[in-house]
Amino acid sequence: MTRATAVILALSVLALAVAHLVLPLDPMIALRRSDPATATLLLTQLRLPRTMLVLGYGAVLGTTGAALQAVFANPLASPDITGSSSGAALGAVLAGYWFGMTGPIALAACGGAGAIVALALLLTLAGRSAAGPSLLLAGLAISLAAGAATSLVLALAPSPFAFYDSFEWLMGSFVDRSLPQAAVALLPAAICCLLLLRRARALDLMALGEDVVASLGYRPRRIGIEIVALSGVAIGACVSVCGAIGFVGLIGPYAGRLMTRGHPGRALVPSGAIGGALLLLADLAVRFGPAGRTIPVGVLTTVAGTPLFVWMVIRMRTRVAA
Amino acid sequence: MTSRLTVQAAEIAGRLRRTSVNLEAGQLVAVIGPNGGGKTSLLRACAAIDGSADAIEVDGEDIRTASPARRGRLLGYLPATRDLVWPIAARDVVALGLASPDPSRVDELIALLELEPLAGRPVDHLSTGERARVLLARALAPRPRVLLLDEPLSNLDPYWVLRLLQLLRGIADDDGTGVAVALHDIDRIGVFDRVLLVNGGEIRADLPPAEMLTAAEFSRAFRIARGRSGWQLSP
């Protein structure tokens, strides 16, 4: 990635974050005139955690997506398609509606555990250097199973409103999240992502095959487990606060690798930046939706991301055929 | 002659029995053997990729405790697989072999392996033979003192088979690199200094090429023998 691209990318993310924080502008200005104290409160207590969460969650999806794709040597291995987001949702739902946990830290821990279990299952079902189709199928199976289990847990939950009030959260939403909630999701996620970045060089070399990496003294199996665990914790923490959001973890790394001339490890940082930018855009768009209705942001990213996913699958198929 | 690579009691459970072997400076060694006999296992054990060993040293330095950058300069390993998933340009794949950027070294290797027309193309779009040359250039990049190459000649056209053997001979002679090459084409072993016959997970014979071809162990392992009209199946 050239320095110019890096600067442009960083500035775009910054501009989007500022826009996300202050838009729509009119009510903010009106409130500022009538009640400056409330306006400040609104900005720091409501708008700021939301912007932080959106940017952070997007960055987590992009970074972990890029790392998982590098480890599985598969451009489709994003958090949602590997089933780790669904696993995290199941973990958090189980903890929240079944075991009655309410503390955000406990929920985040259970979300992380759910994501790690899903990724560990994927490793056993499909194996690490799994080819595209078998990884997809194993991920699909895990997603479906975790989704069904989540529904079952909600249906049998002691609270009769479990289904209703979990809907918005599970589809991915950033409405009315507090600063402590943002901290619970983003602190562990940030630590995990920084630890992932340390592996950028090894992940680049992973492109040459595991034996080459091992011949240089790295331990590919240990790196694989480390990346799965770190990604699981980061995704789980975010999912437990904001729900599962699809396709950002697929598109972010795809665009990130275009910026690093195909290098899977070097793509971690740009993938994170693009993931953050994409989710900021999506959440901004949701905010300008019909008044009085909240469209879960996860619905929007899925609608926008599906065509790209289909295109990638078709490309993969033609390559296998060729 | 000085020993470049010293391997003592290397072992991979179920694949390679306890084996000690060394590679002299400037020596070009062929590793031959029937399918599944353990050629790849021997090379992988010598590169400390798999299994255990009492010692794996390059010029007396234990490669297993060396940093990745140092280890890359001590020993280069080229696996037999040519699969590459990511659309990385050929030039960048060669550069991945270097611990720190060195564009002039990359240019040198691109010229050496005549990769100029391919340099900017993504490797996942190259033919298998072209990819084999790119991957070999990556292995040569840090000028390792020992090269362990698993079937570098497969998928290559006749020109490149001859050119590559000439190149490896040159690297061994000029830099004193110890080179071990696993190969199937037994008609090529004449250019090597020494031939290891690997079968049943162990080194069965360690001979100069001319003696290897007439050794009893050779025809036992391959189940072929030299007849009047070339190689024939053993009776």
Q: What is the pLDDT of residue A317?
A: 64
Contacts of B117 (CB under 8 A, 6+ apart): none
Which residue, among A300, A248, A208, A249, has the nearest Cα to A119 in the 3D structure? A249
CB atoms B86 and A262 under 8 Å: yes
CA distance B163 to chain A (A): 24
Looking at domain A49-321, its CATH class is mainly alpha
Cα A185 from Cα A244, distance rounded (Å): 13
CB atoms A262 and B87 under 8 Å: yes
Contacts of A182 (CB under 8 A, 6+ apart): A49, A52, A53, A56, A241
Is any Cβ of chain B less than 8 angstroms from the Cβ of A256? Answer: no
What does the DSSP 8-state code read for residue A47?
I
What tokens does A188 get? 């562990």
Q: What is the pLDDT of residue A318?
A: 62
CB atoms A214 and B49 under 8 Å: yes
Q: Which residue of B has its CA nearest to A216?
A: B68
The CATH code for residues B3-84+144-233 is 3.40.50.300
Choice among A155-159, A250-254, B104-108 with the minimum mean pLDDT: A155-159
Q: In what order do the strands lie in the sheet with B55-58?
A: B16-24, B3-12, B55-58, B61-62
CB of B141 within 8 A of CB of B93?
no
CB atoms B79 and A264 under 8 Å: no
pLDDT exceeds cutoff 70 at A131? no
Q: What ipTM was predicted for this assembly?
A: 0.89
Q: Which residue of A has its CA nearest to B50?
A: A214
Which residue, among A234, A167, A179, has the nearest Cα to A51 in the 3D structure? A179
Q: 3-state class of A223 per DSSP?
A: helix
Q: Which of B44, B78, B92 has the CB atom closest to A261's CB atom?
A: B92
Q: In this structure, what are the phi and psi dihedrals at residue B18, rounded to the nearest 5 degrees?
A: -50, 120
Mean of the per-residue pLDDT values for chain A? Answer: 83
Other residues' Cβ atoms within 10 Å of the Cβ of residue B18: 15
Cα A238 from Cα A174, distance rounded (Å): 11
Task: List own/partner pairs for A127-132 with CB under 8 A and 24 or more apart.
Answer: A128/A71, A128/A72, A128/A73, A128/A221, A128/A224, A129/A72, A129/A73, A129/A210, A130/A72, A130/A74, A131/A74, A132/A74, A132/A76, A132/A313, A132/A316, A132/A320
Cα A44 from Cα B182, distance rounded (Å): 66
Domain regions of chain B by residue span: 3-84+144-233
Contacts of A304 (CB under 8 A, 6+ apart): A247, A282
Q: What is the pLDDT of residue A110?
A: 82
Q: What is the pLDDT of residue A133?
A: 63
What tokens does B123 get? 């490797």
What does the DSSP 8-state code read for residue B122?
B
What tokens does B210 get? 């001319």
Which residue has 């996620």 as its token pair?
A: A189
Q: Which of A75, A215, A264 has the CB atom closest to B75's CB atom?
A: A215
CB of A185 within 8 A of CB of A241?
yes
Domain regions of chain A by residue span: 49-321
Cα B99 from Cα B190, distance rounded (Å): 35
- Burial (Cβ within 10 Å: 0-12, 13-18, ≥19) of residue A95: buried
Other residues' Cβ atoms within 10 Å of the Cβ of residue A7: 10
Q: In this structure, what are the phi and psi dihedrals at residue B138, rounded to the nearest 5 degrees?
A: -60, -45
Which residue, among A122, A170, A124, A119, has the nearest Cα to A147 in the 3D structure? A170
**Highest mean pLDDT range out of A26-40, A101-115, A160-174, B49-63?**
B49-63
Task: Please report how many Cα atoms fall inside a 13 Å half-sphere around the Cα of residue A146, on the Cβ side.
Answer: 31
At position A235, the amino acid (one-letter code) is I
Q: Which of B75, B83, B89 has the CB atom closest to A261's CB atom?
A: B89
Other residues' Cβ atoms within 10 Å of the Cβ of residue A135: 23
For B145-187, give the DSSP string.
Answer: SEEEEESTTTT--HHHHHHHHHHHHHHHHHH--EEEEE-S-GG
CB atoms A217 and B135 under 8 Å: no
Choice among A169-183, B74-88, B148-162, B199-213 with the minimum mean pLDDT: A169-183
Condensed to tens digits (0 to 9), the pLDDT of residues A210-230 reads 889 999 989 888 888 888 888
Which residue has 């280890």 as its token pair?
A: B71
Of residues B45 and A241, more confidence is placed in: B45
B76 conformational bin, left if phi > 0, alpha if psi -120 to 50, beta if neither: beta
Q: What is the pLDDT of residue A223?
A: 86
pLDDT exceeds cutoff 70 at B10? yes
Q: In this structure, what are the phi and psi dihedrals at residue B16, rounded to the nearest 5 degrees?
A: -135, 125
Condensed to tens digits (0 to 9), the pLDDT of residues A99-117 reads 777 777 877 788 888 888 8
CB of A285 within 8 A of CB of A300?
yes
Q: Work out the pLDDT band at B1, boundaries 50, 70, 90.
A: low
Task: List own/partner pairs for A19-27 with CB under 8 A and 24 or more apart.
Answer: A19/A280, A19/A284, A20/A50, A20/A51, A20/A54, A20/A55, A20/A280, A20/A283, A20/A284, A21/A47, A21/A48, A21/A51, A22/A47, A23/A284, A23/A287, A24/A287, A24/A288
Contacts of A12 (CB under 8 A, 6+ apart): A277
Q: Which residues of B touch A264 (CB under 8 A)?
A: 86
Q: Which of B50, B83, B122 has the CB atom closest to A262's CB atom?
A: B122
CB atoms B135 and A73 under 8 Å: no
Cα B77 from Cα B146, distance rounded (Å): 9
Cis ω before A24 (30° cut-off from 0): yes
Cα B157 from Cα B144, distance rounded (Å): 26
At position A266, the amino acid (one-letter code) is R
Q: What is the pLDDT of residue A130?
A: 52
How far does chain B reach from its first CA to its final CA, in angstroms?
Answer: 41
CB of A28 within 8 A of CB of A62?
no
Average pLDDT for B167-194:
91
pLDDT exceeds cutoff 70 at A49? yes
CB of A245 within 8 A of CB of A297?
yes
Which residue has 């020109």 as its token pair?
A: B159
Q: Which of B77, B78, B86 has the CB atom closest to A207's CB atom?
A: B86
At position A255, the amino acid (one-letter code) is A
Mean of the per-residue pLDDT values for chain B? Answer: 89
pTM of the model: 0.85
Cα B85 from Cα B32, distance rounded (Å): 29
Q: What is the pLDDT of residue A322?
A: 41
Q: What is the pLDDT of residue A285?
A: 85
Q: What is the pLDDT of residue A65?
A: 93
CA angle B7, B12, B16 (to 5 degrees): 80
Q: Which residue of A has its CA nearest to B69?
A: A216
CA distance A43 to chain B (A): 43
